[in-house]
Amino acid sequence: MDACVFCRIVAGELPASVVYEDEAIMAFKDQHPEAPVHLLVVPKKHFASLAHVEAEDAALMGHLMLKLPELAVLQGMAQGFKTRINTGRAGGQEVAHLHVHLTGRPSLK
């Protein structure tokens, strides 16, 4: 059995509030939100961290990056949003599957 929590969410083995999914990536709500909107955007392919991504994964990573502003708009954050990737123990990474924190507050208009 796969021990990686986010791989298990991707596989549908663990519940999550999924807001977006395609063939390569998934976005779901952080279980301990730090902001009114707090999504985790992950590649479906397992990378232990950003430091484990290789050149052959550039298209996948580009796809994920380009999806971030689209997801922000869908979450009502067309005015702006924050992104963060914690990498490694010293970087505050707790879950060893690459993920982007997408946070912010929906704007009123």
Residues that bind ligand AMP (CB under 6 A): 5, 14, 16, 30-32, 40, 86, 92-95
C-alpha atoms less than 13 angstroms from C-alpha of 27 in its C-beta half-sphere: 22
- The Cα 37–Cα 42 span in angstroms is 16
Phi, psi angles (nearest 5°) of residue 75: -90, 10
- In the chain, alpha helices (H): 5-10, 58-74
Span interacting with Zn ion, options 22-30, 43-51, 70-78, 100-108, rule CB under 5 A: 43-51
Residue 97 binds which one of Zn ion, ligand AMP, none, with CB within 5 to 8 A depending on kind?
Zn ion
To the nearest whole angstrom, how small is the minimum distance from the Cβ of residue 81 to ligand AMP? 16
Which three-class secondary structure state does DSSP give residue 14?
Answer: coil
To the nearest whole angstrom, how small is the minimum distance from the Cβ of residue 51 to ligand AMP? 13
To the nearest whole angstrom, how small is the minimum distance from the Cβ of residue 4 to Zn ion? 3
Nearer to ligand AMP (CB atom), residue 77 or residue 98: 98
Interface residue with Zn ion, options 38, 44, 45, 46 (CB under 5 A): 46
Task: State the maximum Cα–Cα separation within the chain, in Å, rounded to a whole number.
Answer: 45
The answer to whether the CB of 80 falls within 8 A of the CB of 50 is: no
52 catalytic? Reply is no
